[in-house]
């Protein structure tokens, strides 16, 4: 399996999108995590030749008692900060090293939906997405409403995420991410997760270190 650095950049973007937490539905519900979680570290590696060959990024998350992200820091393999998030009363603040700060607002809509809109300088829209949830808080679909207009369809097997199909506005599938849990902790949370990107045949492994209250 060859490493395509352009694709890896796209993978990092997808990982950030999947893990973003600016929503009124708690992060732990969206990701089907169990137990009173205090914090979590997530390290993402390219898995090649039966080993972790390249660290993509590391994310540290601190949670509220309700399971929402209070604060997070995402760093690169070189320990450069890629993104910092801070939970405010009515919005989430996203801080980037080379971009203006983003301020993300969430509006709850009918039929288990949320509209999440992010603005720079609190007035220039940068991105917007519609999130669709099941009754238990799991993500069912995400629709980009501003930039790519792609749709992400989430598929589960008995409440466990198995794949995400990424489609264009016209409905053409451009990639599929397949998920496989390799290891769970005593709270039955997946702590070693494998992601297979079918178009590039890339394997990404996520290692979670979870601290409980």
Phi-psi group of 92: left, alpha or beta (phi > 0 → left; psi -120 to 50 → alpha; rest → beta): beta
Q: Is the pLDDT of residue 93 over 80?
A: yes
Q: What is the rounded average pLDDT for all residues in the chain?
A: 90
- Supply the pTM of this predicted model: 0.85
Q: Which of 44, 45, 46 is nearest to 60 (CA)?
A: 44
Look at residue 10 and give its three-state secondary structure.
helix
Which one has a higher pLDDT value, 19 or 68?
68
What is the model's pLDDT at position 21? Answer: 47
- Range of 149's domain? 5-212
What is the model's pLDDT at position 9? Answer: 54
CATH of residue 40: 2.40.160
Distance CA 125, CA 197 (A): 30
What domain count does the chain have?
1
Phi, psi angle pair for 15, to nearest 5°: -60, -45
Distance CA 98, CA 86 (A): 17
What is the model's pLDDT at position 153? Answer: 98
Residue pair 127/105 in contact (Cβ under 8 Å)? The answer is no
What is the model's pLDDT at position 106? Answer: 92
Q: Is the pLDDT of residue 145 over 90?
A: yes
């Amino acid at each position: 399996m060859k490493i395509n650095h352009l694709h890896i950049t796209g993978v990092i973007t997808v990982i950030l999108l999947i893990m973003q937490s600016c929503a009124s539905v708690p992060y732990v519900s969206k990701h089907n995590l169990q137990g009173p979680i205090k914090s979590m570290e997530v390290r993402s590696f390219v898995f090649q030749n039966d080993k972790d060959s390249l660290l993509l990024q590391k994310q540290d998350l601190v949670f509220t008692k309700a399971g929402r992200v209070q604060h997070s820091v995402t760093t690169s393999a070189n320990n450069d900060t890629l993104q910092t998030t801070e939970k405010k009363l009515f919005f989430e603040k996203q801080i980037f090293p080379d971009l203006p700060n983003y301020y993300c607002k969430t509006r709850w809509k009918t039929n288990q939906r949320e509209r999440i809109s992010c603005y720079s300088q609190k007035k220039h829209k940068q991105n917007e997405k519609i999130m669709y949830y099941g009754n238990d808080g799991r993500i069912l679909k995400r629709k980009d409403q501003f930039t790519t207009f792609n749709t992400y369809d989430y598929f589960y097997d008995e409440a466990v995420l198995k794949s995400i199909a990424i489609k264009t506005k016209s409905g053409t599938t451009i990639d599929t991410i397949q998920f496989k849990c390799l290891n769970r902790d005593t709270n039955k949370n997946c702590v070693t997760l494998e992601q297979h990107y079918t178009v590039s045949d890339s394997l990404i492994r996520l290692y979670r270190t979870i601290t409980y209250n």
